[in-house]
Amino acid sequence: MSTTLITGGTVVSATGRRQADVLVDGERIVALLEPGSTLLGSDLRTTVDTVIDATGRYVIPGGVDAHTHMEMPFGGTSASDTFETGTTAAAWGGTTTIIDFAIQRFGERVQDGLATWHEKAAGNCAIDYGFHQIIGGVDEDALQAMDELIGEGITSFKLFMAYPGVFYSTDDQILRAMQTAAGNGATIMMHAENGPAIDALVAQHLARGETTPYYHGVSRPWQLEEEATHRAIMLADLTGAPLYVVHVSAKQAIAQIAAARNAGKNVFAETCPQYLYLSLEEQLGAPGFEGAKWVCSTPLRARAEGHQDEMWLALRTNDAQVVSTDHCPFCMKDQKELGLGNFSKIPNGIGSVEHRMDLLYQGVVDGRISLERWVELCSTTPARMFGLYGRKGVIEPGADADVVIYDPNGHTSIGYGKTHHMNMDHSAWEGFEIDGHVDTVISRGTLVIDDGAFRGRIGHGQFLKRGLSQYLL
Ligand code: DUC
Ligand code: ZN
Ligand code: ZN
């Protein structure tokens, strides 16, 4: 087993920062030491196998992206990142763990859906990975499977109030799945948009000849996110299930979550970089078919209504607790283009897995969140929320040596063909400039990114059996 000493850096956690050297032995962190510590009289730097000088840089726990969709079949095509390309891109951006969504389709056994995801991922990942389970058909068998999967390390289940005929669950199905979660300690993750009402609006826009990507956003108004969020909160409250609302984009939805939390309910919110930076007017409303790049659900919201600023504020005040990407990339060619002349046929999704740590760090530079909050939102809380804390999300003796060395004096220009390793023919983040840089990424003690090169190995990434959320009441 080889030893590594990361010297001279500022170790940042969710609760503070300090100058410390980090000693790694094999796959684990074994000590945080006063800078320049000695062991039995010898300078540690002379006794370890590798010394990494992190002077002037931040040493942070590797990012945990709790919401990705590698190779996800959607809208007649499949998300363009495989587990190989997607986890490699994640590593480039300082993310060392992803939690992807295994899918049970209507009529399929939950266990078969999960087995398919294990087959896709096993041996193909550059970093560690876990799974949530999408339940696309709540019935007796599926409810029983929810109990079984807990023991297999799948401790969170996603339901959809949107996409009728695809992933959609009715309120009675949601209620029953929540009752099961309340019984077995699982977390219910909710895509909260009123799908049937959206479908009616979509048909009306198309009938009027309003077919461009802009109308994707217009047909999914904030009222239908707020309504579904409120309904999900009430159903969760009734059943006692913990509720984690994914990809919150509307300020009114976050207000519902804040009110629920203030009333003591066990409700959590995730948002994504696209809802912090991008908008209905600027991106979805781009000329011609360009807006297709930013078709995702929930949709980008109107900047004129102030959603983006409210989401930043929610991150600061802990009304929202996690930033994930909802990474679901599609190329323009042959994929997004399926919706030329009909926005409802554009596969939904944006690719961001490579840029989350940078985009959120820019929030530190811009005075939106603190350095510690950056680590908390992107690494520590997702680890705690989804049963990985201790191994992931923290730099402490005993934790996996998933470490990122981040240079606050570096610079990252984001764009297709520049810093982009995702399997996409465009970037949703073209032209974004970040006042910081991911220099070095270590996964379970193994160097993955260093000195501008990928030094990892496909197949290094292991499946993570997750425990229950630390936020259970
Ligand atoms: N939203 C997306 O944008 N893509 C995949 C599924 C989802 O809910
Ligand atoms: Zn969703
Ligand atoms: Zn998603």
- Test site for ligand 1: of 326, 330, 343, most ligand atoms within 8 A of the Cβ: 326
For residue 93, what is the domain's CATH number?
3.20.20.140
The atom number, within ligand 1, closest to the CA of 162 reads 8
The atom number, within ligand 1, closest to the CA of 349 reads 3
| Ligand approaching nearest to the C-alpha of 326 | 3
Q: Looking at the structure, do residues 284 and 221 belong to the same domain, yes or no?
A: yes
> Closest Cα to atom 7, ligand 1: which residue?
297
Q: Looking at the structure, do residues 50 and 194 belong to the same domain, yes or no?
A: no
Question: What's the confidence (pLDDT) of residue 400?
Answer: 98
Q: Looking at the structure, do residues 11 and 117 belong to the same domain, yes or no?
A: no
Ligand 1 contacts CB of residue 426 (under 6 A) = no
Q: What domain count does the chain have?
A: 2
Q: Looking at the structure, do residues 158 and 305 belong to the same domain, yes or no?
A: yes
Ligand 1 contacts CB of residue 349 (under 6 A) = yes
Ligand 1 centroid distance, CA of 362 (Å): 25
Q: Looking at the structure, do residues 112 and 222 belong to the same domain, yes or no?
A: yes
Question: What's the confidence (pLDDT) of residue 345?
Answer: 98
Ligand 1 contacts CB of residue 69 (under 6 A) = yes
Ligand 3 centroid distance, CA of 49 (Å): 41
Does this model's pTM top 0.75?
yes
In the chain, what percentage of residues exceed pLDDT 70? 100
Q: Looking at the structure, do residues 188 and 283 belong to the same domain, yes or no?
A: yes
Ligand 2 centroid distance, CA of 140 (Å): 24
Q: Looking at the structure, do residues 369 and 304 belong to the same domain, yes or no?
A: yes
Ligand 1 centroid distance, CA of 327 (Å): 8
Q: Looking at the structure, do residues 10 and 76 belong to the same domain, yes or no?
A: no
Ligand 3 centroid distance, CA of 67 (Å): 6
- Test site for ligand 1: of 67, 70, 71, 74, most ligand atoms within 8 A of the Cβ: 74
- Test site for ligand 1: of 161, 247, 272, most ligand atoms within 8 A of the Cβ: 247
In a domain, 316, yes or no: yes
Question: What's the confidence (pLDDT) of residue 401?
Answer: 98
In a domain, 19, yes or no: yes
Domain enclosing residue 123, as ranges:
65-385
Q: Looking at the structure, do residues 325 and 369 belong to the same domain, yes or no?
A: yes
Ligand 2 centroid distance, CA of 297 (Å): 6
Ligand 1 contacts CB of residue 300 (under 6 A) = no
Ligand 3 centroid distance, CA of 46 (Å): 47
In a domain, 210, yes or no: yes
In a domain, 212, yes or no: yes
- Do residues 39 and 31 touch, judged by C-beta distance below 8 A? no
The atom number, within ligand 1, closest to the CA of 163 reads 8
Ligand 3 centroid distance, CA of 265 (Å): 24
Ligand 1 contacts CB of residue 274 (under 6 A) = no
The atom number, within ligand 1, closest to the CA of 74 reads 5
The atom number, within ligand 1, closest to the CA of 347 reads 4
Which stretches in the chain have pLDDT values below 50? none
Q: Looking at the structure, do residues 177 and 34 belong to the same domain, yes or no?
A: no
Ligand 1 centroid distance, CA of 11 (Å): 35
In a domain, 327, yes or no: yes
* Contacts made by residues 456-460, CB under 8 angstroms, sequence distance 24+: 456/88, 456/91, 456/126, 456/127, 457/126, 458/84, 458/88, 458/123, 458/124, 458/125, 458/126, 459/123, 459/124, 459/125, 460/125, 460/126, 460/127
- Test site for ligand 1: of 81, 278, 296, most ligand atoms within 8 A of the Cβ: 296
Three-state secondary structure along the chain? CCEEEEECCEEECCCCEEECEEEEECCEEEEEECCCCEECCEEHHHHCCEEEECCCCEEEECEEEEEECCCCEECCEECCCCHHHHHHHHHHCCEEEEEEEEEECCCCCHHHHHHHHHHHHCCCCCCEEEEEEEECCCCHHHHHHHHHHHCCCCCEEEEECCCCCCCECCHHHHHHHHHHHHHHCCEEEEECCCHHHHHHHHHHHHHCCCCCCHHHHHCCCHHHHHHHHHHHHHHHHHHCCCEEECCCCCHHHHHHHHHHHHCCCCEEEEECHHHHHCCHHHHHCCCCCHHHHHCCCCCCCCHHHCHHHHHHHHHHHCCCCEECCCECCCCCCCCHHHHCCCHHHCCCCECCCCCHHHHHHHHHHCCCCCHHHHHHHHHHHHHHHCCCECCECCCCCCCECCEEEEECCCCEECCCCCCCCCCCCCCCCCCCEECCEEEEEEECCEEEEECCEECCCCCCCCECCCCCCCCCC
Ligand 1 contacts CB of residue 190 (under 6 A) = no
Q: Looking at the structure, do residues 345 and 407 belong to the same domain, yes or no?
A: no
In a domain, 465, yes or no: no
In a domain, 189, yes or no: yes
pLDDT tens, position by position, 80-122: 999 999 999 999 999 999 999 999 999 999 999 999 999 999 9
Q: Looking at the structure, do residues 291 and 142 belong to the same domain, yes or no?
A: yes
| Ligand approaching nearest to the C-alpha of 349 | 1
Ligand 1 contacts CB of residue 75 (under 6 A) = no
In a domain, 427, yes or no: no
> Closest Cα to atom 4, ligand 1: which residue?
349
